[in-house]
Amino acid sequence: MERKLIHSEESHFIHADKIHRAVGKMVETLDLAAGSSGDFDIYKVVEAYFTDLDKRQEINQLLGIKKE
């Protein structure tokens, strides 16, 4: 089965459950105690970044990432 790559303008098509599984793997790989605790939730950050264009632009602006 051929995999279809998702480009940045299509990232909102990624299902939240798939994003959460990938973040779970990242949390495990980085030996983090948890992906969310208190006011920190990497799951919500990554989900928002991939699925919400306005949030992505806001995050990019905070990080100083210029739109090309």
Q: Please tell me the pTM assigned to this model.
A: 0.77
List Cβ neighbours of 28 (8 Å cut-off, separation of 6 or more). none
Q: What is the pLDDT along the chain (68 residues), one digit of tens a residue?
A: 677 777 777 777 888 999 999 999 999 999 988 888 888 899 999 999 989 989 999 999 999 998 76
**Boundaries of every domain in the chain:** 8-63
CA dist., res. 55 & res. 45, Å (int): 9
Question: Computed from CA positions of residues 54, 7, 15, 41, in that sequence, does the dihedral angle turn out positive or negative?
Answer: negative
